[in-house]
Amino acid sequence: MLLMPIVFSFFWPSAVAIYILVFDLFWLFRALIFTYYLGKTYRKMHAALRTDYRRVLESLPKDDPVIVNWKEIYHVVIFATFREEIETLLPSVQSVIEADWLLGRKIIVLAGEERDRERLHRIGSFLKEKYKNQLYDFLICEHPDGIAGEVRGKGAGAAWAGAKLSEYAKRENLDEEKIVVHIADADTRFHRQFFNCVAHEFVINPNRHRRSFQPIPLYSNNIWHVPTISRLSAWGSSFWQMIEASRPWRLMTFSTHAYSLKMLREMEYWDVTVVNEDSRQFWRAYFAFGGDQKAVPIYLPVHLDAVLGEDYWTTMKNQYLQKRRWAYGPMEHFPYVILESIKHKEIPFWDKTIKIWRMLEGALTWSTASFYLMFVGWIPQIFSQTYRHTVLAYNFPVVARAVLSVAWIGLIVSVYVSLSFLPPRPRKIRKRKYLEMIAEWVITPVSAVLFGSLPALEAQTRMMLGSYLTFWVTPKKQAK
């Protein structure tokens, strides 16, 4: 698709120029829609941040047979960890401890790997001793290495921890229908009202065991300390999840999310054979339950780390590799989704088809849209001398500039939203950093190409050529 405009520019440059103008108009329209949904979620998040969900729970009717008694709910947080140090895990665990929920109804599972045994048990034992009186329990789960058929990654470790959690619940006589399991990365920090909010959505939903619960990830823990490119990539990822949250018919599981333990057991926990286990979970649940699976948006944020390495170039490299892994997901899932769609004839044809189209269209635009918007419009000028002297060639830059200038509306909204979600400014950071954070949005097109389309294009090319990716853990580095 990227080569097509180059080929056509030699013998039909005007068609390429018109195609690009139409493409620009399409993306202008799309950008305005995205801006609308971003603003919609922004308002819902601010409303949620002002809500006392404990009071909301207490005000629920007690005689409604659909609503479960919220005081019987247990929250379990599985922290998937590999080679993360105490500096990363301690604030995350502390956020669970400080989050408002009933005393003795929170459980933490530290899910690590046999090949990181010493660190897992050293850190786990420290955290267990520190917080043992503030939790129902703190479990350390070591996933054995080298199990046949497994990909070394988060999914295999989470699946092992999930199965062990089910065994633990049986021993403790805990009802799996009243256990909400949250899967989280080691750097995930929870809002104080988070568990109250999820519990509210869980207990009022009559189909709670066929629903996942998806919060908004904000990569803001270290946002003041990361380089510009990393910061723009972090906001871009968060904003996309915000946009999807206000389009729940499209929403899929990503990063931190939650299910009942009953639902997890029925879908056999997590997939142990893939790199991107979070988005695969949506598809597994969708097919396991005959299409009866939806992600429920949670408008409270969870806070994670933006990519930060030992130096600038390591940060850039890690940012690229993280985006490449994420972009690998749709192509990794495609064969599975097609085969399962054929198998599950009970799911309406158009429901399956629309979801597959969204996945493919998203993957295609991810790898090509930034290139088209930034470069392709100028290709006819380069490869066709006759085209350069036409009226269309003369007016193309003027029209394109006018169309894309409207897109600044979205950029202004993005700047405003990003500033409003900044954590408190560290004392060592000067106030002029705010100006830098505003000005850096000008290079968004460059960031979109280098850390959006380019890693996506590589991921898709690797899949096509059979050079498959393995799981790569984004290194977590705490800002000093």
Q: Are residues 36 and 59 both part of a single domain? A: no
CB atoms under 10 Å from CB of 360, counted, come to 14
Q: Diameter of the chain by CA atoms?
A: 80
Q: Are residues 14 and 59 both part of a single domain? A: no
Q: Are residues 157 and 302 both part of a single domain? A: yes
Q: Are residues 199 and 289 both part of a single domain? A: yes
Q: Are residues 298 and 364 both part of a single domain? A: no
Q: Are residues 414 and 305 both part of a single domain? A: no
Q: Are residues 171 and 36 both part of a single domain? A: no
Report if residue 331 sits inside a domain: no
Domain count, the chain: 2
Q: pLDDT of the chain along its 480 residues, tens only?
A: 666 666 666 666 777 777 777 887 888 888 899 999 999 999 999 999 999 999 999 999 989 999 999 999 999 999 999 999 999 999 999 999 999 999 899 999 999 999 999 999 999 999 999 999 999 999 999 999 999 999 999 999 999 999 999 999 999 999 999 999 999 999 999 999 999 999 999 999 999 999 999 999 999 999 999 999 999 999 999 999 999 999 999 999 999 999 999 999 999 999 999 999 999 999 999 999 999 999 999 999 999 999 999 999 999 999 999 999 999 999 999 999 999 999 999 999 999 999 999 999 999 999 988 888 777 766 766 666 666 667 666 666 777 777 667 777 888 999 999 999 999 999 999 999 999 999 999 999 899 999 999 999 999 999 889 888 887 788 876 665
Sign of the Cα torsion 144, 147, 153, 157 reads negative
Q: Are residues 260 and 118 both part of a single domain? A: yes
> Which CATH number fits the domain that encloses residue 206?
3.90.550.10
Strand pairing class (106-113; 137-143): parallel
**pTM for the structure as a whole:** 0.93
The tokens of 319 are what? 């940012």
Using alpha carbons, select from 100, 273, 339, 304 the residue that is nearest to residue 198.
100
Q: Are residues 133 and 244 both part of a single domain? A: yes
Domain containing residue 457: 4-42+359-465
CB atoms under 10 Å from CB of 66, counted, come to 11
Q: Are residues 157 and 194 both part of a single domain? A: yes
The tokens of 449 are what? 């190409």
Distance CA 398, CA 164 (A): 63
Please, which residues bridge with residue 108 across strands?
77, 138
Q: Which of 271, 296, 322 corresponds to the end of one domain?
A: 322
Q: Are residues 35 and 76 both part of a single domain? A: no
Q: Which of 271, 298, 322 corresponds to the end of one domain?
A: 322
Q: Are residues 206 and 301 both part of a single domain? A: yes
